[in-house]
Amino acid sequence: MKKFASHYRLVVIGLTALFGLGWWQGAHVHAADDKKPFMVYYRAWRDSAMHMVNTDILDRNPQSMLDLPAGIDIINVFSHVPKGQEVQAQPFFDQLKAKYVPAMHARGAKLVRALDYTSMVNNLKDVHEDTPTDEDVDKYAAKLVDELSDDWDLDGIDIDMETYPTDEEAALSDRIIRAMSKRIGPKAKNGTLFIYDTNGQNLKPFQNVMDCFSFLGYQQYGSGPERTEKMKEHYTAAGYPASQLLTGLTFPEEGDPVNRWYDTNPENFLKSNMHTVANYVQANLGGMFVYAVDRDGRTYEEPDFSHILPTTYRWTKTAILESKGYSLPEIKAAAYRYLDDLKLTRAKVSKQELAGQIKAATNAFEVNSVFLADDHSQALAPTFDAVAEIEQPVVNKAKLTALIQQANTVLAELRDSAARKGLKQAITAATQMVESDTVGQTSVDAAVKRLGQAMLTAQKRQDQVDYQAGYATGKATGQAGKPAAANPAGSAKYQQGYAAGYRAGHALWIAGQHEDQQVQPEQTTPAKPVEKAEEQAEDHAALPGTGERVMSLMLAGLAVIGCSGYGIWRRLKVTARR
């Protein structure tokens, strides 16, 4: 493994997250069995839980292991803690067991810790000056597995080999590795991992124990697929399966005074090692890895060279997609789903324009670049992750699917053509939504509302038609004076309409019967004789209060009453004086 300072050759702490169970045993990985493992080397001193450890850069570490993208299957987390910096490093190790390991396990991951090859051999030699016995080796191997893996609830060990051992050292390492393989790796058959990674093609420390390892990781930093092909030929000729070979590239480390690896090429993605090697891996090898994943998108120029900045993992996410063989259509579908749910708060482009960019993309990098950028602050949506969208879609279509079934039941009961047509169109649209792999939860939720409203509208339309039909039938029956049907055939609304119509019709029938009874034949009044009429006129004129005499008679009467009253009043007054 590339480390530009000598202390990186000390015992290194590694954490490996692995989706699925033992690929070498043909177990299920992610969504499909043919998805290849992807490994990253994660530098623990750049985790947000650690500050000012193994560095003189004052910047705070902005991201944690939990920010790593989906689709990563093996995570080696290096952590060299210089003497005197243990206190600063402790928060990370607390997080490692309490938070990171459970989180990786929750993803279906396995975890391993790294062991430096030279330290592994020398530590045993230091304890046993003479050749250690088999019992000594077994106890030593068991202690390594316990301290590096089991005590941390991890799932295996990675041996980092970057040296040229002597024959004696290689013979001793063979014994140690075989003793360890009883506890971890494919020979143990317990689902654990045992990994061997190297930057060379020295077969001496590997050829006798290759059957003990789950994978071999080959560091080919700064090189293209031509070197990958030579590595493959070398190790397969020695008898190691190509399906267990992982080849790796790197990102620029901050402050590195020596190495200059250019595996990314923002100006021409198609010519970058990240693209060409990932494509080679997809067709020819077991998998791929990248070193210093937290430096994804950085360069050897300032401010990158002297500062710690957040990453969107644009290159890593692309390499995962390409090395695992995800197709461009499914990557685009994932992007469309993500866009559908994305809330644009500060974007200067519309969703229609972004959808056009996705449609025009010709490779995974261009799709990712719609949302991601090497400059985290310039990324439209830094958390976009096509693998997460593909493998763990958050779009829940269960409610819409159930509603479609209900709508079809309602449709079967509809008789009105207009009601049927409207609901059928809504069902068709909803079904297309369920079958689409480009829609997000926002569109699905909206489709649920639309279909529900269409069902209500169709049922309301059918109820109106049924009521009107029942009303017309009931009214006609009632108006004809016929008895109401005891249980008219039809829906509940039809029966309600029938009852209301019958009452109205029956009322009209009763009113009609009453009018018939009130109407009588018209009679002619005979003319009175002239003499009788004149006689009646004279009698009428003689009656008091009638004719022209009425006023004079009234005045005379009032005069008589007045005089009589005055006389009575005078007599009463005289009597009172006496």
Residues assigned a catalytic role: 162
Reported in sequence order, the residue ranges of 433-474 that DSSP labels E, i.e. its strands, are none
Q: Which of 540, 82, 34, 559 is nearest to 285 (CA)?
A: 34
Number of H helices, E strands in the chain: 18, 8
Q: Which two three-digit tokens encode residue 346?
A: 């500060």
Q: What is the 3-state secondary structure (H, E, C) of 526-540?
A: CCCCHHHHHHHHHHH
Q: Which structure tokens are listed for 475?
A: 């009214």
| Cis peptide bond prior to 303, omega within 30° of 0 | yes
Point out which residues pair with 75 in neighbouring strands: 40
Quote the CA–CA distance of 65 and 379 in Å, as a whole number.
20
Length, in residues, of the chain:
578
Which residues, 6+ apart, have CB-to-CB distance to 263 below 8 Å? 221, 222, 249, 250, 251, 272, 273, 274, 277
For 241, the token pair is 């399966």
**CB environment 531-559: b (16+ within 10 A), e (fewer):** eeeeeeeeeeeeeeeeeeeeeeeeeeeee
Which of 169, 115, 164 minimizes the C-alpha distance to 141?
Answer: 115
Residue 502 C-beta-side C-alpha neighbours within 13 Å = 17
